[in-house]
Structures are given as structure tokens and as C-alpha cells.
Structure 1
């Protein structure tokens, strides 16, 4: 019997012909015309009469909203093309074109910011509260405030232009190197070649020898390229640090905190709560080692199943379960997920030539979503699928708003995805057919807590320390290995036998140019979603509407305001974080109890 759902996404319904699409070429020309129109609209604004006549500003904001929508649509399509086939040379050229368009767009935004700063305070309040501009008041206020903290417009525009072949080029160089990498794994005396993404799937194999062989091969592959990757990482950080120096920004966390609309005290208290509660997770690591017959776990044992005969979950079965469980919390969420499967919005096929990792990208003009991953039937794959569908649902709710109000940050983006993942993980544990299956699924759930509290913490510690050292000069590949291993030892409380010193090279997030510190927002989203999940369980009848309202506000509030309005909590207090962590601790306590007799 054939599969009900395709594991290959449909991009032709958006722009037929892939990277050779004529329709997409036309779309890019239209986008370019609108960018020119935006420039013209900006030039037409007369500051001297804005107090009496705001029509020129309103016209410009409407053009900006449309341009933003089209640019995000084009960017999403190009991202999909380059991910589905790393050997698509035309797609790589389109990535360059996308970066050029973003540079032009950023220059327009810089000009806008300069205009906003020049508007007198007495006129400003009246302008942003006018009927036409009030929907954009948060975004405009935010842009005006942040513009005061940057370089003069001409210098900011120069930075944007130079970043295309400087800053962003280093990120692209990393992607180009990874796309060419082949991992040689020796299994049963026979050497096979795999892409990085395929090789990584072996790290949760039940057979320890296979995990170790894959880990060793991956470590060798990353080490072989480590000098090149140290170049990309050093120059990305160098570009950022030079930018910060000229803007007179003293703290390297200023950019990621601002991007995430988050206060430093919130971040500090979150990590404090986690650090104070790590001991129970150390007990889990020790128990898992005992169950696997080991003295201590190694890095490649962290995702290992604790039972050797874990059942593979067929793709159709995963789809059915996800839709069914989403429906218990939100009919709208279930309907969205069903549409994603029915209309082939998901690229899940396990094949060579794909980019590693997973993501969700949205097409705001078409009001569609696409999800990218490599599905091999593990419980972790099912969780990833639910996670990415959570991202897609978040954007689906945002489609009702103006494009400029859809710009939510990474930390709240991870809230919706983690909440969706949690629904499926909890359901799997509750519906387990046997005690062994329940223990296995519960352990899979705990693995995610360990990832957010320990793995992500290691990434945060690494990046913090790397930036401090980078301020005084280039950091060698060997030293990067040392900083990474030191961070992992601290984050995992010295509990592992072997660590992964080349993790800084293998993790795309360290080389991404969207924003630095692509780590702590995941942990924030995880714990924030636990608060939302608790509300859903306590009051399921009112949950759907309140959840959708929270999601709508994610692009027009700080996270502290969001928590205050929708959850009635203060994020700079330990209490909130402690309650979320306590739910995770309960999972560990249950796991320790159920496995007591299995030692």
C-alpha cells in the first residue's frame, strides 16, 4: 500500500520551474520596481508639513508593507531552492541576488529611520496615533528609538552595502563548504558515503557502534575543514565587533537582546533558574548511562534510545497523530496541519544532496508555509515535524495582520513551535502501549529538556567567551575546540566521558548572519511555552482564542509585555522560570521511578 502523503514539497504551485522559474523572475522585477517606488516615496516626505499632512508618510508605510511582504516571499522561495538541492547552481546565484535586495531594503529602512528621528516629539505622538498609522505604532516607535542608538544614516547604509560581500558572504562561504562535504562512515567493514544530514541521523541509532562510528566520522569531517570554518566564524564575529565598536555598543548581547525584544535581566534570571536546578538532570544522565551499561555517557550517547528495538514511525502515521493531538487543543491548529500534509508543504524525503537540519519558512504573499527536514522515522523526527508545524501555525495566525506587524523575534517564534512539539510528546507518553514504550517516550521528552538546559547553555557559554577572546584578535581552530569543550563540561556539570569539541564548526547557528547568539531564544521559547501549555491543560475550553491572541501580539510587544498581558507573569522573577522547570523535573522524577528496577 502506497503512502498517503508525499514527502517531497510542492514549490511549483508558488513559482513553477524551480530556480529557472519565469514567473519568479517576473516577481523579482515587480519587487525591484516596488523598492524603487519606496525610495521615491521616502524622497517625497516633507518633514516641515508632516504635523499637518501625514499622507506622504502613510503612502510610504503602505509601500514598505507591500515591499516587505514581497521580499519575504522571494527570500522564502530562494531558501527552499537552495536547501532542497545544494548542487543547484542557479539557486546559489539567487541567494546572492536575495542578499543584494536585502541590502537595498536595509538602506531604505535606514533612510526611514533617519526621517523618524528628525520628527519633532510634539508631532510624533499625533502621527503614530492617527487612524492610518496607529496599526504600525509599535513598529514605528521601536524603529525611531533604536535609530537613535546607531551610526549616522550614510554610515549605516555603507555598512549594509559592504555586508553583502563581507558579512553575509562569510555565512554563505560556510554553507558552500558544508554543501560539498561528504562523510565516510565505516559500518560492518564497508565504507559508505553520506551527506552531513544523513550521517547525523545515525547519532540516535540504537547500536552504539554505529553511533560511535558516525560521530567519529563526523568529527573527522568537521576537523578536516576546521581551519576554513574558523575563518568564517572569526570574520563574522569580527564584522559584528567592528560594527558594535563604531556604534559605541559595549555589550555583545545588545544586538541579540534587542532583536528578541528582551531585557538582560530576563535572560540572567532564566539562566540562574536553570543552573540552580541542574542536579536532577545530572541524575537522569547517570541513570541513562546505567541503562545503557556504561559508566558515563559520551556525547554520541545523549540521543541514543534506551531500548534497542525502537519502532520506526511511518510518515503517514506521524501525520495522523500530529493532526489528532493538535485537534485536542485547537481545531484551527489541526486544520492547518492537515492542509500542510494534504497540499505537500513538507519536504521530508531522506535523500542525498539536501541541506542538513530543519526549518519552517513562510510565504506571506501566498499565505502558505513550507517545512524542510529529513524524516527517517525516529521519535525525534516526529517531534521535529510537530515543531516545524508549530512555526507554520504561528505564521498562519499572523497572516491576518499587516506584514510589518508579522515580524516576531526568534524567542517567541520558538514558543509556538515548542508548544506544538510538547503536545505531541505528551500525548505519545500517555498513549504508550507498554511500560517499555512509555519509558522510551518519556526519555525522549526529557532529552529535549536536557538539550535546552545543557546543550543550549553550552552554546551560550561558548559564544559569550569566544566574543571576549575575539575582541583581542583571531581565535585559532584549536582554541575554539578548547572553548567549546570547556563550555560543554560546565553546561553538562562534568558528567560526560567524551564531548564534541568541533561542535562550533558543525552547528550552522554559529555561522548564521541573521543574528548572533542563535541559542538562548530556544531555551526561552521552551520555558515560555511550558507556561502556555499549563494554561491550556487547566482551561482547554478558552485556550484556543487566548493562544491565538497571544500569537498575534508577538510582533508588536516586548516579551515582558507579552507575558504580563497574556500570562499575568513577570519574566524578571525566578518564580515564572521555576514553575516551567518544575514540569520538566516531574518528567525526570517519573523516569527515575519507572527505571529503578531496570538498573
Structure 2
């Protein structure tokens, strides 16, 4: 049996890391390709050669994604790699130039008359892209003219995206002090975050105090990055006449009605999860949980699962769902697509990024042997599988929204988490794994909701001017109290500073897609349980449509449900509610 490596292989993508000459050559080729496209675009537009423009755009889309993914991996594996930061700036600049050309292309789309469009869209080489092209036409009509949109993109390199990159630089240097046996060591943010699942409350509490203090000390700088990033975004929205949620809803291809219905249903069932948290507090000998107790294990056992064991467990249960998911996951482990080593100098969190030209993915996380780590690994493999089944589609049809991206990942996570509970070797282990599932529901229904509430309030206040560090803390704590129904003893007011998602420019309001994906995947998972391994092909068909439908259309076609109605969301959340009931029954004697 193979022994799986804890570190990924980037050299097979571009040899030499951030000093890679191969990558430098690739970037020059990309720049040349964009330059040639720029030179020919006016002529192709004048000649009304839509198919030829699309033929030129799609390879450049893949190359941009390939270059961006490589740089993201370099930055994640070593936050002190200054050369990777330079490369990030370079790719951002090239991307802005390419986006300007795409804006010009979009302006051409809206200049085509309705009659001419009806003819063009049915041409054989274009018809398969009908959804994405009509979507581009619709969105272009909502934007400013070409000169203004081009200027926004150009200024965004050193403005909008510059603030996000500064955030990365600041947080990349942050370490969290941690005392062990009388000695103080400085942990990376990712290493410190893993301490919140330590069975010793003193460890969790002291880590949290140092965590909170560290983010507070850096809050003056981070409040600047967040304020300026949001200010730039709001200025653009004002010019376009957009409401704050218009862009995130656009990006996620979903209706406001769907989003509102989802949150309303969650709110109706939050009391169940409060009951769980109160029970957990009682078991831990507390009146109420604090923020740093949310991920605390119920058992004082410090047993962990090796990376090899975790990988084999995932493979075994992916195989039970379907051979194709298991085959892709096995390849990911064997070909070293995964960076999981627990070491200093790494970025916090986890992600999966794809290399479309190589038809491979890379997964980033920090693995320390917890059940939560195994879930994270399965989650990221779900993302990789989503891309895997779309590799043969046109690049434009592979651009799926974040909410359905999170559907694929949480579906994979659910397979593994459910299997872990069912195959537990003891009651203690079963309870721990069941509680891990419930923890995840709390995170998706309450933590994510607090982020959504915070951002809505923050953007409302930011319209009137800069929001102080103190006020950001207040907004964050108030949002957490509302989302958690005042059920915690201590909250995390500097969460706005420590959570990367608030500072990402590519996806504004990068919060509700997680909750959508979680509940949507629960609905899909319920179907999978009914149909067994035969469901994999239907699941793949759904994933392949994620880049060419709205989420409402996707649900109607593949699940025959209406996402603007409560029924679907209630059926989905009841699976999580059942986990709570099972937990309460198992702990009724405690």
C-alpha cells in the first residue's frame, strides 16, 4: 500500500517554485497571447465574428486560471516567500488587462440587436454557450460604458486588489504566542486555530486570549485594509447604481428570494442548535459555551488519526458512493495534489484550486489528526471532484458559482462524516463524531450567519464614512450575538480581522455561499441515500450543469424543487436537526 505524502507537488506544474524559469516563460506567453488578442479584437468585432472571439478568449481564460492558481499555491505554502507576492502582483495586473478586453467583448454583446442575437446564438459553435453568453449580455447592460469600466479595472490593481494583498502581507507575518511547559513558542495562524479543538480548556482559553490580543494589536492596520477595500467597492456600486447585494447575487446566480427563504428557515430552527450548545456546556461543566469552546471535544482523549488512516477512510467511503469520486481522490493522494503538513510559515485555512491546462487540482490545509481535519480534507476533495467532472467542457461552461462550488465540497464532507458516525468503534467515539457533525451545522447556520449580518451592517455604515476599529468590533460582536441567539458567554469581536473571507476581492459577501452549499448538498445527499451508488451519474450530471444554469434552474431540473419556497430548505435542515436529536438522546444521562 502506498504511503501518502503530506506535501504537494508543484514542480510537476511549473518546476522551481517562485523562481521558476518555466513559469516566467509561461507568464510571458500569456502576456503575448493577451497582446495578440487585444490587437485583433477590434477587427473581429467590426467583422461580427463572435465565434472567433470566443475561440480566442477561452484558452486565455484557462491560462489566466493556471497562472493564478500556481501563485496562490506558492503564497499559501510559505507566507514569507516575497517573490510569490511579486508574482501575485504581476498576475493581478495581467488579469486586469484581460478583464478590460472581456469588458470590451461584453460591450460588443449588448450592441448586437435582438434579431441578430437570436440567429447568432443558435449557430452550432455557439449554441452550447447560450446561457453564459446571455448572462454576460445581461450583466454588461447593468454596467457602465467601456471607458469607465476599463478605468475601474485598471485602478483596481493598485486600489481594490492592492488592499486585499496588503491584508495578506500583514496577516502572513502574524504569529500567535503559545505557552507550553513554561516556554513560549510562536505559532502560525493555522497552527493556533487547531488549538481551539484541544480537549484542555486552559489551552483553548489561553490561545484565544493571545489570538484576540494579537488581532486587536493589528486591528488599526486591518481596519484600514477592510475600510478601503469596501470603500472602493461601494464607490463602484454607486456609479453603477447597484445595491450592495447585487454583485454577490449575480456571482452566485441566485435570486434574493432564495437567499431570504434560506435564512428564514434556518432562523426558525436555530432554537434546536441552541439546545445542543446548552447541553454541550453542561457536559463540559459550564453554564454557557464561549467562542473558544465551540470546537471543543467532549472527550479528554487526545487520540488522533494519522494522515494515512484519514486518507484511507475517505477513499473507502467515497468508493461506496461511487467509483469515479474514489478514483479521483486516490489519484489526488498518489500524485501529491495535497499540501497537509503541520508546519510554521503556512497560510491559515484550506482551499482547493484547479489547473485547467493540466486537468489537475491542488488542495491546501494543515492536518493535525482531528476528525475536523478529515472532514476538511474530504471537503476540499469534493471541490476537486467538481472540477474533475467538468474538465472536458468549454472553459466558459466551467465557471460555476461559489454557492454550488460549496455544494460539491460539503456533499463529499457529508459522505465521510456520516460514515464516521456509523462505523464508530465505541459509544464515546460515535458521540464525538456525531458532535463533530453538529458543530459543522452550528458553524454553517450561526457562524456564517454572523458574517452575513456583520457585512450587511458594515456596508451600510461604510457608505457614510470610515468605520473605526472599535466600531468594527462592536458590529462583529453584535452580529455574533444575533446569529447565536445570545447563547454564548464570550464572543470574538476581532473576527472581522482574523477571517480572510472579509478581505477577498474576487467574491464579495463570501459567506452565504457556504450555507447555501451545505443545505443544498444535504438535499442532494438525501437523494443519494435513497438511490445508493446508482446516484453518482445523476450527481455528476448536476455538477456538470453548475456552470450553465442559475441555482434555481439547477434545482428544478435535477431535483424538481423550487428554491424560493420553504419546503426544500426545511427537508434539508431536518437532517441536521436529526443529528441534534441523536446527540441529545445519547447524552440524556449526562
Could you state the TM-score of these two structures normalised by the residue count of structure 1? 0.97
- Partner in structure 2 of residue 560 of structure 1: 552
The alignment status of 1:439 with 2:431, answered yes or no, reads yes
Identify the match of residue 376 of structure 2 among 378, 381, 384: 384
The alignment status of 1:489 with 2:488, answered yes or no, reads no
How far the C-alpha of 1:142 sits from its partner, in A, is 0.5
The question of whether the paired residues in 2 share the 8 Å contact of 1:41 and 1:59 is answered with no
CA distance in 2, matches of 1:213, 1:361: 34
Q: How does 1:309-324 map to 2 (within 5 A)?
A: 309-324=301-316
Identify the match of residue 220 of structure 2 among 218, 223, 227: 227
The question of whether the paired residues in 2 share the 8 Å contact of 1:117 and 1:144 is answered with yes
Name the stretch that deviates more: 509-518 or 38-47. 38-47
How far the C-alpha of 1:184 sits from its partner, in A, is 1.1
CA distance in 1, matches of 2:467, 2:199: 37
- Partner in structure 1 of residue 524 of structure 2: 532
- Partner in structure 2 of residue 425 of structure 1: 417
Q: Which runs of 5+ in 2 are unaligned?
A: none
SS at 2:414 equivalent: helix
Q: How does 1:459-478 map to 2 (within 5 A)?
A: 459-478=451-470
Q: Which whole-Å deviations, capped at 9, do the CAs of 1:361-408 have from their partners, x for residues lacking one?
A: 000000010000000001110000000000000000110101111100
CA distance in 1, matches of 2:45, 2:275: 66
CA distance in 1, matches of 2:102, 2:283: 56
The alignment status of 1:30 with 2:29, answered yes or no, reads yes
The alignment status of 1:207 with 2:206, answered yes or no, reads no
SS at 1:539 equivalent: helix
CA distance in 1, matches of 2:99, 2:472: 32
The alignment status of 1:67 with 2:26, answered yes or no, reads no
SS at 1:362 equivalent: strand
CA distance in 2, matches of 1:46, 1:477: 49
- Partner in structure 2 of residue 173 of structure 1: 166
Q: How does 1:79-98 map to 2 (within 5 A)?
A: 79-98=72-91
Q: How does 1:274-423 map to 2 (within 5 A)?
A: 274-423=266-415
The question of whether the paired residues in 2 share the 8 Å contact of 1:37 and 1:63 is answered with no
Identify the match of residue 189 of structure 2 among 185, 189, 196: 196
Q: How does 1:35-46 map to 2 (within 5 A)?
A: 35-46=34-45
CA distance in 1, matches of 2:533, 2:453: 41
CA distance in 2, matches of 1:101, 1:556: 26
The question of whether the paired residues in 1 share the 8 Å contact of 2:320 and 2:533 is answered with no
Identify the match of residue 130 of structure 1 among 120, 123, 127: 123
CA distance in 2, matches of 1:547, 1:461: 32
The question of whether the paired residues in 2 share the 8 Å contact of 1:429 and 1:442 is answered with yes
How far the C-alpha of 1:94 sits from its partner, in A, is 0.3
Q: Which whole-Å deviations, capped at 9, do the CAs of 1:395-438 have from their partners, x for residues lacking one?
A: 00110101111100100000000000000000000000011111
SS at 2:436 equivalent: helix
The alignment status of 1:239 with 2:232, answered yes or no, reads yes
The question of whether the paired residues in 2 share the 8 Å contact of 1:462 and 1:483 is answered with yes
Give the 3 Å change call, closer, same or farther, for CA 209–3 of structure 1 in structure 2: farther
SS at 2:321 equivalent: coil
Give the 3 Å change call, closer, same or farther, for CA 210–142 of structure 1 in structure 2: same
SS at 1:211 equivalent: helix
Q: Which whole-Å deviations, capped at 9, do the CAs of 1:540-566 have from their partners, x for residues lacking one?
A: 243111100100000000000000000
How far the C-alpha of 1:461 sits from its partner, in A, is 0.3
CA distance in 2, matches of 1:452, 1:273: 13
SS at 1:293 equivalent: coil
CA distance in 2, matches of 1:46, 1:522: 39
How far the C-alpha of 1:42 sits from its partner, in A, is 1.6
CA distance in 2, matches of 1:547, 1:101: 36
- Partner in structure 2 of residue 143 of structure 1: 136
CA distance in 2, matches of 1:46, 1:581: 49
Superposition CA RMSD, Å: 1.0
How far the C-alpha of 1:38 sits from its partner, in A, is 1.9
The alignment status of 1:272 with 2:264, answered yes or no, reads yes
SS at 2:128 equivalent: helix
SS at 2:352 equivalent: strand
Identify the match of residue 585 of structure 1 among 538, 557, 577: 577
- Partner in structure 1 of residue 441 of structure 2: 449
The question of whether the paired residues in 2 share the 8 Å contact of 1:412 and 1:559 is answered with yes
How far the C-alpha of 1:185 sits from its partner, in A, is 1.8
The question of whether the paired residues in 1 share the 8 Å contact of 2:2 and 2:334 is answered with no
The question of whether the paired residues in 2 share the 8 Å contact of 1:3 and 1:316 is answered with no
Q: Which whole-Å deviations, capped at 9, do the CAs of 1:334-374 have from their partners, x for residues lacking one?
A: 00000000001100001111111100000000001000000
- Partner in structure 2 of residue 216 of structure 1: 209
CA distance in 2, matches of 1:40, 1:317: 54
CA distance in 1, matches of 2:386, 2:113: 37
The alignment status of 1:10 with 2:2, answered yes or no, reads no
Runs of 4+ in 1 over 4 A off after TM superposition: none
CA distance in 2, matches of 1:541, 1:97: 46
SS at 2:536 equivalent: helix
The question of whether the paired residues in 1 share the 8 Å contact of 2:401 and 2:547 is answered with yes
How far the C-alpha of 1:187 sits from its partner, in A, is 3.4
CA distance in 1, matches of 2:162, 2:371: 36
- Partner in structure 2 of residue 53 of structure 1: none
CA distance in 2, matches of 1:303, 1:187: 21
The question of whether the paired residues in 2 share the 8 Å contact of 1:460 and 1:520 is answered with yes
Could you state the TM-score of these two structures normalised by the residue count of structure 2? 0.99
The question of whether the paired residues in 1 share the 8 Å contact of 2:322 and 2:533 is answered with no
The alignment status of 1:20 with 2:13, answered yes or no, reads no
The question of whether the paired residues in 1 share the 8 Å contact of 2:561 and 2:568 is answered with yes
